[in-house]
Structure 1
Amino acid sequence: MQRSDERTGSPTTGRVARRHNLFEPIEITVDRQSVRAHLLNVSATGALVHSAAPPALGATVKLKMLGIERSARVVWSKASRFGVAFDTELADPFLEAALR
């Protein structure tokens, strides 16, 4: 069954956390191999990343971004973009401060 927004009746994506668009160079590490990537958007629960060498679906990655390091799991991948779900949510006050 597809969920819908109670106010509009439109289908929802299942996302709860607010996404913040940006273009920020980051470093991702998979199996002790670090590569440069770009953070395209971020929320308290996950992020959209662009990389010339995206990790495999289900891979555990470490992201060095916005002055912190965070572990995450790759939940989808298409071409050079992939989405991750953080193992531990980013606190809203940290996220707001980091994006200023």
Structure 2
Amino acid sequence: MDSATTVACEPAEHRHSSRTHLFVIATLCWNEGSTPAHIRNMSAKGALIEAAVLPQPGSLIVLKRGSLEVSGRVAWVSARQAGLAFGTLVDVSDWMSKRANAQQDRIDEIVTQLKSQDVVQNDAIEASTAGSRELLQLLRSDLVQLGNTLAADVILVATHPEIQLVDIALQRVERILKHLS
């Protein structure tokens, strides 16, 4: 599931290194709490992350992914995104590595298998009725609640990355519902 491309950013006074675009999950920790975060891009000196809850600009943070971690501060916050400035240089390739978490290879394999399967089976569509649609909507609601509850537990997310399967199941249900509409 990890994919990356390195691109040079537009010249900026405060940015002197290239950014690598990522889509990996990490944990952002600060004095008042912690939250799962998606790393969108990273350089040796900082990162762009997305998270539901973010600390204030200037807050000291630790970004963790598997056995990797880096300290720094929040440079800026805008809606669900934040720019992080690291206190030390990081090797971006380590953060891209599937080996950052011992279970990441297993998760990537499961995600690949799920993506390769046909999401909406013709038999399921033909057998669907208004009652089935209502059941799928209830299932969707349950999956959203379960996903939000599990994602709020940072320790659980850090030790069980397979929680991503709840989101994948939710996406499948949403595609079926969209197809039935």
The answer to whether the superposition gives a TM-score over 0.5 is yes
More strand by share: 1
Residues 65-84 of structure 1 mapped to structure 2, 5 A cutoff: 65=65, 67-84=67-84
Whose RCO is larger (CA < 8 A, sep 6+)?
1
Corresponding residue SS for 1:57: coil
Q: Which protein has the larger Cα radius of gyration, Structure 1 or Structure 2? A: 2
TM-score by length of 2: 0.44
Instruction: Return the offset for 1:65.
Output: 2.6
Match of 1:61 in 2: 61
The CA RMSD measured in Å over matched residues stands at 1.7
- Identify unmatched segments of 5+ residues in structure 2: 1-9, 98-181
Corresponding residue to 2:93 among 89, 96, 100: 96
Once superposed, which parts of structure 1, at least 4 consecutive aligned residues long, lie more than 6 Å away?
none
| CA pair 30-97 structure 1, distance change in 2 beyond 3 A | closer
More helix by share: 2
Could you give the per-residue CA deviations for residues 23-48 of structure 1, whole angstroms, max 9, x where no partner exists?
11110111162211110000000000
- Identify unmatched segments of 5+ residues in structure 1: 1-10
TM-score by length of 1: 0.77
Match of 2:11 in 1: 12
| CA pair 17-32 structure 1, distance change in 2 beyond 3 A | same
Amino acid at match of 2:49: V
- Tell me the distance in 1 between the aligned counterparts of 2:31 and 2:39: 20
- Tell me the distance in 1 between the aligned counterparts of 2:61 and 2:95: 21
Aligned pairs, number: 87
